[in-house]
């Protein structure tokens, strides 16, 4: 009997897996689709466990491993942890779990790399969830790369739930944002890291507050450029003409659907899935 030749799998055509607690990672997914228009995405928004910012490190690690397993089962060629909280607590755990099978990218390392190479910056502010700020990961990583920069970190726990609710660009959001940014800790900063992937959605309000005196770092864009760099190095860039994106949530929310449509127009496949059984 003739031996059937196995068809070689084109790994580069497989999707990129992206996850966050909710809509925040969509800002990263959106930046990826702009920089890499031929890539298909599988996005998981863990809306059932949102917000990640005040969960224990053990819970975050558990969620991150289970979601990574789901993305591996969906044949993703790369995992992007599109969440600062999960990146700060579970990046090493996810890498260990994946065991080098596919590349894992976090949202913190590329931003740190960008900031330490900005010679004009002297004092950089970091705003993020309680989990991210408590881990002190930005200060640790920045100081490991450069002693020159002063880092001022501030937890802003109301922001992610507020944004997830679609509550931004209004009088109340401006008051909440303003009262955080008024903090003396952030005095005299010349750069600000939006260390939560939800925050690009309030970037215009942050910019209005600082009236162009502070460089608000485009963290989603920096992460997307890094995704491209890693895929290129590993020869995994897709040449697909018509990429397909799939969005999964652990709990259906109107805000998630609206945000997904906002970023990805009408061509979306959104499904609620229970991966916790």
> 76 an active-site residue?
no
Which member of 21, 30, 33, 47 binds ligand DGL (CB under 6 A)? 21
Which member of 40, 132, 226, 260 binds ligand DGL (CB under 6 A)? 132
Q: How big is the site for ligand DGL, counted in residues (CB under 6 A)?
A: 18
In the region spanning residues 145 to 204, those forming contacts with ligand DGL, defined by CB under 6 A, are 160, 196-198
Which member of 14, 15, 16, 20 binds ligand DGL (CB under 6 A)? 20
Q: 77 vs 30, 38, 70, 268, CA distance in Å?
A: 18, 14, 13, 20
52 binds ligand DGL (CB under 6 A): yes
| CB-nearer residue toward ligand DGL: 43 or 238 | 43
The residue annotated as part of the active site, out of 23, 29, 83, 189, is: 83
Which member of 26, 29, 42, 50 binds ligand DGL (CB under 6 A)? 50
| CB-nearer residue toward ligand DGL: 126 or 231 | 126
| CB-nearer residue toward ligand DGL: 24 or 221 | 24
Which member of 30, 68, 85, 250 binds ligand DGL (CB under 6 A)? 85
Shortest reach from residue 152's CB to ligand DGL, in Å = 18
Shortest reach from residue 239's CB to ligand DGL, in Å = 31
> 196 an active-site residue?
yes
* Alpha-carbon gap, residue 169 to 158, rounded angstroms: 15
The residue annotated as part of the active site, out of 196, 206, 223, 249, is: 196
Which range binds ligand DGL by CB under 6 A, 118-126, 128-136, 147-155, 240-248? 128-136
| CB-nearer residue toward ligand DGL: 141 or 198 | 198
HEC string for the chain: CCCCCCCCCCHHHCCEEEEECCCHHHHHHHHHHHHCCCCCEEEEECHHHCCHHHCCHHHHHHHHHHHHHHHHHCCCCEEEECCHHHHHHHHHHHHHHHCCCCCEECCCHHHHHHHHCCCCCCEEEEEECHHHHHHCHHHHHHHHHCCCCEEEEEECCCHHHHHHCCCCCCHHHHHHHHHHHCCHHHCCCCEEEECCCCHHHHHHHHHHHHCCCCEEECHHHHHHHHHHHHHHHCCCCCCCCCCCCEEEECCCCHHHHHHHHHHHCCCCEEEECCCCC
Q: Note the residues at the interface with ligand DGL (CB under 6 A).
A: 20-22, 24, 50-53, 83-85, 128-129, 132, 160, 196-198
Q: Which residues are catalytic?
A: 83, 196
């Amino acid at each position: 009997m003739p031996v059937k030749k196995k068809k070689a799998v084109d790994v580069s055509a497989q999707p990129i897996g992206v996850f966050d607690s909710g809509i925040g990672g969509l800002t990263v997914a959106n930046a990826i689709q702009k920089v890499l228009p031929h890539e298909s995405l599988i996005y998981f928004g863990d809306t059932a466990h949102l917000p990640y910012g005040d969960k224990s490190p053990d819970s975050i690690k558990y969620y991150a491993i289970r979601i990574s397993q789901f993305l591996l089962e969906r044949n993703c060629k790369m995992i992007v942890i599109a969440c600062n909280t999960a990146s700060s607590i579970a990046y090493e755990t996810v890498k260990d779990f994946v065991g080098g099978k596919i590349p894992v990218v976090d949202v913190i390392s590329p931003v740190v790399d960008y900031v330490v190479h900005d010679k004009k910056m002297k004092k950089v502010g970091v705003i993020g969830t309680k989990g991210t700020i408590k881990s002190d990961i930005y200060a640790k990583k920045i100081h490991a790369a450069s002693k020159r920069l002063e880092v001022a970190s501030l937890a802003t726990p109301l922001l992610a739930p507020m944004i997830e609710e679609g509550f931004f660009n209004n009088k109340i959001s401006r008051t909440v944002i303003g009262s955080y940014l008024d903090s003396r800790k952030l005095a005299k900063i010349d750069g600000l890291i939006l260390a939560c992937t939800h925050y690009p959605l309030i970037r215009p309000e942050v910019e209005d507050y600082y009236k162009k005196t502070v460089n608000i770092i485009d963290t989603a864009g920096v992460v997307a450029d890094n995704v491209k760099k890693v895929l290129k190095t590993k020869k995994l860039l897709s040449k697909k003409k018509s990429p397909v994106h799939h969005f999964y949530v652990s709990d259906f929310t109107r805000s998630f659907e609206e945000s997904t449509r906002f970023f990805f127009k009408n061509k979306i496949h959104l499904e609620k899935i229970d991966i916790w059984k």
